[in-house]
Amino acid sequence: MKRIFLLLTFMLSFLQLRADEGMWLLTMIKRLNGVDYKKEGLKLTPEEIYSVNNSSLKDAIVQFGGGCTGEIVSKEGLLFTNHHCGYGQIAALSTPEKDHLTNGFWAMKKSEEIPAKGLSVRFMIRMDDVSQRINAKLNNNMSAEERKNIIDAEYKAIQTENSENGKYTVVVKDFYNGNEFYYFVYQDFKDVRLVGTPPNALGKFGGDTDNWEWPRHTVDFSVFRVYADANGNPAEYSTNNVPMKPKHALPISLKGYQPGDFAMILGYPGRTNRFLTSYGIEQMVKKDYPAWVEASKLAMDVMKKYMDKDQATKLHYASQYASVANYWKNRQGTIDAVEKNQTIAGKRALEEKYKIWAVMPGNEETYGSVLDDIRANYQQMSDRNVERNYSQQLQRNAKYIMVAYQLGSLFKTYADQDDAGKTAMKTKVTDAIDKVYDTFNPSLEGEMLNSMVELYQHKVNKEVASATLLKADSKTLSTLAFESIFANKESALNFVNNPDRLKIDADPLRKLANGFVEDQKLLGEKFSKIDDAFAKNSRIFLDGLRKSQPDKAFYPDANSTMRLTGGTIDTLPERTDRNYHGIAEKDNYYTDTKGMVAKYKKGDEEFDLPKRFLDLVAKKDFGPYKDKKGYMPVNFLSNNDITGGNSGSPVLDANGSLIGLAFDGNSEALSGDIIFDQKWQKTINVDVRMVLWTIEKYGKAGHLISEMTLVK
């Protein structure tokens, strides 16, 4: 603990890279030298950003639901995140009669806040570097299995040492392709309740058309509250729980911003591959991502067909559709950006310099052939990687396969019990059935199964394909599913009431699912040695890359751990085909409600607006939230370095006050997960003043504002 504190006293003193590049672990910034964040405008001390012993900014930041970020904004545990981060929960809490997704929702008192089943938030307590401890027991001559066994044993020991008998969740992760290791101590709160959300027309304004595009006009936020037991500890949902008392809540600034103003983001970026070789990028954009795009688009078309017919289906599949659509556009955009920005050529130029260093005396034995070895690995894995992409989309979207596999195993165990055992298990089994089928449309899923398997059969090289799927008649799979035990909730419950082990074993859908899963295991075993060699070569390459540039500060790839990125409010370079909707090109760092109304199309699924919103804007009833120039801000740009997982992250000013919520990137830089483009890479944020205006003026929930600390 003491060592962490001493290291952090130097934190943020120096930077080598421009402030807008890099996703830095909070204990890692001590490595940097060059440009001072203080000179960029930061007014906080290191201890105010990260402290183990005292409250700091990191205590207000949470990992939201495992895939987004959120921030605490009141001493009563009130939490902001993006609308699209809360989308699944909002949809799950909606019904055709109480459609919170479409109409919005605002709890006027705490007793009206709705428990979000299965949702949790994670606070980071502390972290530390255990690289020396683990690396002391490893060497490059070990087999992959030997290395894994040692690392796993150390992970377990570190978790035991720091969990305080289960009070905390301890996660150990590798960085720099396995060259360094850090552990993170977390506290998870599982009673999280929906407090408020704008209607979908605001929270998702612009839909797929505006996704990844600037200028943007999306009111992308939602409000939740974290609850704890009477002693302030995490607890399962209970009516006796009380709003948690956070160590720190972010103050909220109403001052606005100008280009060049310092902006900092703390959050949980999901995954980047900035050290990917040119061979990896080529495989990605020419083979892997095209497979992803094609399979995703097919799945979206099937979902949309049934969602348009029925409101309940639309609600049940809203989150899945939005997620698939988001990545569909992201992957296609990445392909386009890599080609446009000549990313592969740039990587190859860097690799040629690396090769010169790698064959120098003392380097050649370890590093001399590693790039050639990686290239050979990709040649061996190419078709298998394509199969993985089609397979992943099939598993994600064709639910009948995973339902038959997972419920089938549970049903089999249930059928094998004696009467007492069945009685003991029955609630567990029926709960599992409810979880699966309450949002399940059999007709949609039948067509999805047919379509996704047929695509797989036509597109995957037979040498690496699932033999089970290749043999299946894709035209009749839906019929097979409809005749199965797993066809729908009624047939599944009927089995529970009349369990028959022989019927389970003979079920054709279960046979298909089991065969597919077994085929995937066999494929994994077939390629395991190549995968192990690739992991080793990637680790050695990155070790060499860092040693070849000893004066450069290397930030680690994102891996869902808390990171800091600094930057400034910024504009996008001019583009002749862009419509700024009344904003001068020199001022394109923000959008306002005028531009939102300019995009308005009555009755359009993506660009319709609620009448109440239009009336408030027409009256210019903006209260204290309008900019000093008179406009009502909606979104703004900064040049912070983020990726998926940063959605919902707080954008903070030089004093650590909240000015916005990060929610998107721009299409020009969709290759950002593999290379940072200094010119084009931006972050699109929803202005916190629009958040507060929507809560108070549109939602009439001003009582929530009274909980917050506003900086005017």
Helices (H), 461-507: 467-471, 477-482, 489-497, 501-506
pLDDT of amino acid 14: 32
| pLDDT over 90 (residue 9) | no
Whether omega before 259 lies within 30 degrees of 0, making that bond cis, reads no
| pLDDT over 90 (residue 387) | yes
The span from the CA of 195 to the CA of 457, in Å, is: 46
Query: If DSSP states are collapsed to H, E and C, what string results for 69-133?
Result: EEEECCCCCEEEECHHHHHHHHHHCCCCCCCHHHHCEECCCHHHCEECCCCCEEEEEEEEECHHH
Least confident of 8-22, 56-70, 196-210, 323-337: 8-22
422-447: per-residue pLDDT in tens? Answer: 999 999 999 999 999 999 999 999 99
Q: Which residues contact 266 (CB under 8 A, 6 or more apart)?
A: 49, 57, 58, 61, 69, 562, 563, 564, 649, 650, 652
Tokens matching residue 225:
């509250």
pLDDT of amino acid 612: 97
245-259: per-residue pLDDT in tens? Answer: 999 999 999 999 999
The mean pLDDT of the chain is 93
Catalytic residue status for 220:
yes
Question: Contact at 8 Å (CB) between 14 and 669?
Answer: no
Neighbours of 42 (CB within 10 A): 21
Which contacts of 410-414 are long-range, i.e. CB under 8 A and separated by 24 or more positions? 411/485, 411/495, 411/496, 411/499, 411/504, 412/501, 412/504, 412/505, 414/496, 414/499
pLDDT of amino acid 431: 94
Chain Cα centroid distance, residue 134? 29
pLDDT of amino acid 39: 74
| pLDDT over 50 (residue 314) | yes
| pLDDT over 50 (residue 7) | no
More confident position, 7 or 91: 91
| pLDDT over 90 (residue 168) | yes
More confident position, 501 or 287: 287
Percent of the chain with pLDDT over 70: 96
Neighbours of 177 (CB within 10 A): 20
Question: Contact at 8 Å (CB) between 278 and 348?
Answer: yes
pLDDT of amino acid 36: 60
Q: In terms of Cα–Cα distance, which of 14, 563, 560 is closest to 264?
A: 563
pLDDT of amino acid 576: 73
Which contacts of 593-601 are long-range, i.e. CB under 8 A and separated by 24 or more positions? 593/617, 593/631, 593/632, 593/634, 594/631, 595/215, 595/217, 595/634, 596/205, 596/217, 596/634, 599/205, 599/206, 599/217
Q: How confident is the model at residue 345 (pLDDT cuts 50, 70, 90)?
A: very high
Question: Contact at 8 Å (CB) between 583 and 595?
Answer: yes
10-44: per-residue pLDDT in tens? Answer: 333 333 344 478 899 988 754 443 346 677 788 88
Gyration radius from the chain CA atoms? 26
Tokens matching residue 683:
């972050």
Catalytic residue status for 84:
yes
Torsion angle (degrees, nearest 10) of CA 513, 517, 519, 523: 160
Query: If DSSP states are collapsed to H, E and C, what string results for 697-711?
Result: HHCCCHHHHCCCCEE
* Over residues 325-354, mean pLDDT: 92
Question: Contact at 8 Å (CB) between 234 and 60?
Answer: no
pLDDT of amino acid 398: 96
Q: Which residues contact 199 (CB under 8 A, 6 or more apart)?
A: 101, 102, 103, 104, 610
pLDDT of amino acid 12: 37
pLDDT of amino acid 11: 37
The span from the CA of 196 to the CA of 105, in Å, is: 5
pLDDT of amino acid 33: 35
H/E stretch holding 394: helix 370-397
H/E stretch holding 225: strand 222-228
* Over residues 404-423, mean pLDDT: 94
Q: In terms of Cα–Cα distance, which of 267, 220, 205, 249 is closest to 690?
A: 220
The span from the CA of 57 to the CA of 244, in Å, is: 17
One of 99, 128, 191, 220 is an active-site residue; which one?
220
**Residue 493 to residues 372, 489, 598, Cα–Cα distance (Å):** 56, 6, 52
pLDDT of amino acid 223: 98
One of 51, 56, 538, 647 is an active-site residue; which one?
647
The span from the CA of 48 to the CA of 43, in Å, is: 10
**Residue 214 to residues 428, 581, 591, 708, Cα–Cα distance (Å):** 48, 11, 9, 30
Q: How confident is the model at residue 555 (pLDDT cuts 50, 70, 90)?
A: very high
Question: Contact at 8 Å (CB) between 402 and 394?
Answer: no
* DSSP code string of 328-381: HHHHHHHHHHHHHTTHHHHHHHHHHHHHHHHTSTTTHHHHTTHHHHHHHHHHHH
pLDDT of amino acid 29: 58
* Over residues 580-599, mean pLDDT: 91
pLDDT of amino acid 32: 45
One of 51, 59, 74, 84 is an active-site residue; which one?
84
Catalytic residue status for 621:
no
pLDDT of amino acid 8: 36
pLDDT of amino acid 181: 98
Helices (H), 93-251: 100-103, 131-135, 144-162, 200-203, 207-210
Question: Contact at 8 Å (CB) between 582 and 598?
Answer: yes
**Residue 198 to residues 227, 594, 695, Cα–Cα distance (Å):** 22, 19, 8
124-133: per-residue pLDDT in tens? Answer: 999 999 999 9
